[in-house]
Amino acid sequence: MRYSILLPLGPALPEEAVPFANLVQWTGAERLWQGQGMALESHHLVSWLAGIGIRVPVGFGVSLMPFRSPYQAAVEARSVALTTGHPVVAGFGPGAKPLQKGALGKPYASPLRAAREYLQIVRDLLSGEQTDVSGDYHSVSAKLSQTDVPPVELGLGVLREGMAILAGEVADVAVTWMGSARYVGDTLIPAMRSADRALEAPIRVTAIVPVALSGEDRDMIELAAAACGSHLLLEHYRDTLRKAGITLHGEHNADDVKRLVDGGVFLYGTGEEIHRRLDEYRVAGVDEVVLNVNGVAQIHGAKAAARDLLSILRAIPAS
């Protein structure tokens, strides 16, 4: 199983990302992942890093479909591969219904259909062939200019079984979030494997896992709330947690946050304790875990987050 890191903050200045990109250069971390950039656009940030000489493999988990057309998504993903010189994992997801309505005027009637069309168009464009797709949500008639480029693999954000099956059909990588190892292994991966796969290579599974090292100055509930609490207010995350056996009763309260810890969604402890829990993802069939220390970054700052990542990466057990 490979280990990567998630950029644990939404930088307002590109320099804020440098320590985390350097961790990928200096350690055994596979890749620098980002979510949807809400201040600095994620693809632009990677290109800025490449421009100052920090060229590392990257993943986007996930870019929100309502914010860009599939044509633009293909151009941006290919541009990042060209500027970094490394393969790219370009993950996409439909986002929450309020976001869809805010960006598009109304939510997708079928997020699965919208995601299927989106990935088909992006994949076809990246192949360099003429692409003619007329879908319910996305349509394009276009062709990207031919150029040699490192591979761009397409990911799909997966929370529940429906999207897991779709990922098993059409995605190179399934990107899970807020899923315990047990839920990923018992529910999501079997759903992926049940799909009628359209690609030759088997799907890979990347799990983004919120973690924090324990310490005298650390409050587990505070860190877990910072890392995951905002998601507890979104219905599709609450439904995901219910399916994983974690029932939430309140509105972002300490009892609900503790259930995330007890349920294995948020990992807290020493480096060795965290790795024992991370190994459960390997046993479940996960190919890559992405260390997410955004709770540490929010409560204790970017330097503390970088130190946590370095400590956890140094504690990776010998294979």
What domains sit in the chain, N to C, each tagged with a CATH number? Answer: 2-314 (3.20.20.30)
Distance of alpha carbon 33 from alpha carbon 247, whole angstroms: 29
Chain-centroid distance, C-alpha 150 = 20
> pLDDT at position 223, please?
96
Asked if 59 contacts 32 with a C-beta cutoff of 8 angstroms, the reply is: yes
Residues of the chain with pLDDT under 70: 250-252, 319
> pLDDT at position 250, please?
64
Count of residues making up the chain: 319
> pLDDT at position 16, please?
97
CA angle (139 as vertex; 138, 142 as ends), nearest 5: 135
Biggest CA pair distance of the chain: 59
**Percent of the chain scoring above 70 in pLDDT:** 99
> Mean pLDDT across the chain, nearest whole number?
95
> pLDDT at position 132, please?
96
Can you name the residues that pair with 60 across neighbouring β-strands? Answer: 34, 90
Angle, helices 254-262/220-228, rounded to nearest 10 degrees: 90
Residue 141: which of 126, 121, 123 has the closest Cα?
121
